[in-house]
Amino acid sequence: MGSKSIVVLGGGESGVGAAILAQRAGCDVFLSDAGQLGQARRAELQRRGIALEEGGHTPARILSADEVVKSPGIPETAPIVVALRERGVPVISEIELAGRHIGGAKTICITGSNGKTTTTHLLHQMLLAAGLNVGMVGNVGQSFARQVALAPRDYYVVELSSFQLDGMYDFRADVAVLLNITPDHLDRYDHRLENYAASKLRIAQNQGPADTFIHCADDPVSRATLQGHPLTAGSVRPFTRGGEPSATGSYQRGEALCFVDAQGPWSIPMREIRLQGKHNMYNCQAATLAAQAIGLPRRAIVEGMRSFAGIAHRLELVGERGGVRYVNDSKATNTDAAWYALDSMTTPVVWIAGGVDKGNDYAPLLPLVQGRVHTLICMTTDAEKLHASFAGVVGRIVDAGSAREAVAQAARLAQPGDTVLLSPACASFDLFDNYEQRGELFRKAVEEL
State the catalytic residues.
Answer: 116, 139, 185
pLDDT given at position 184 = 59
Where does a domain end: 31, 66, 92? 92
Same domain, yes or no: 171 and 192 = yes
Residue 49 lies in a domain: yes
What CATH number is attached to the domain comprising 383? 3.90.190.20
Where does a domain end: 307, 333, 357? 307
**pLDDT (average), residues 239-264:** 85
What CATH number is attached to the domain comprising 30? 3.40.50.720
Where does a domain end: 276, 307, 338? 307
pLDDT given at position 80 = 97
Residue 143 reports pLDDT greater than 50: yes
Q: Which domain does 64 fall in, by range? A: 5-92
Same domain, yes or no: 69 and 180 = no
Same domain, yes or no: 204 and 296 = yes
Same domain, yes or no: 278 and 201 = yes
Residue 2 reports pLDDT greater than 60: no
| pLDDT per position as a tens digit, 176-233 | 999 998 865 666 656 678 788 888 999 999 999 999 999 999 999 999 999 988 899 9
Same domain, yes or no: 54 and 190 = no
pLDDT given at position 355 = 95
Could you list the beta-strand ranges (E) of 262-414.
Answer: 264-269, 316-321, 324-328, 349-353, 373-379, 396-400
The residue count of the chain comes to 449
Please state, rounded to an integer, the average pLDDT across all residues of the chain: 93
Same domain, yes or no: 411 and 323 = yes
Contact partners, residue 367, CB within 8 Å, separation at least 6: none
Same domain, yes or no: 346 and 243 = no
Instruction: Let me know: does 227 contact 201? Beta carbons within 8 Å.
Output: no
Same domain, yes or no: 194 and 299 = yes
pLDDT given at position 309 = 84
| pLDDT per position as a tens digit, 370-404 | 999 999 999 999 999 999 999 999 999 999 999 99
Same domain, yes or no: 244 and 213 = yes
Residue 11 lies in a domain: yes
Residue 1 reports pLDDT greater than 50: no
pLDDT given at position 359 = 80
Instruction: Give the chain's domain count.
Output: 3
Residue 97 lies in a domain: no
Query: Among the residues of 109-266, which ranges form H helices?
Result: 116-129, 144-150, 162-166, 193-200, 220-227
